Amino acid sequence: MRIEGVDPVIIGQVQGQTSNRQVQTAKGIRVSTERKEHEERGNLGSYPYERVAQAVDQVNKTVDAFNIKLRFELNEEDGELYVYIIDGEGKVIRRIPPQNILEAASRMQQVVGLIIDALI
Query: What are the boundaries of each domain within the chain?
Result: 1-46, 49-119
| DSSP three-state, residue 92 | strand
pLDDT value of residue 113: 81
Range in 29-38, 51-60, 62-71, 103-112 the model is least confident about: 29-38
Q: Which architecture characterizes domain 49-119 according to CATH?
A: 2-Layer Sandwich (3.30)
pLDDT value of residue 25: 53
Helix 98-119 and helix 49-65, axial crossing angle in degrees, nearest 10: 40
86 and 72 in contact (C-beta within 8 Å)?
Answer: yes
More confident residue, 89 or 32: 89
- Spatial CB neighbours of 65, under 8 Å, sequence gap ≥ 6: 112
For the full predicted model, state whether its pTM sits above 0.85: no
Tens-place pLDDT, residues 76-118: 888 888 999 999 999 999 999 999 999 999 998 888 787 777 7
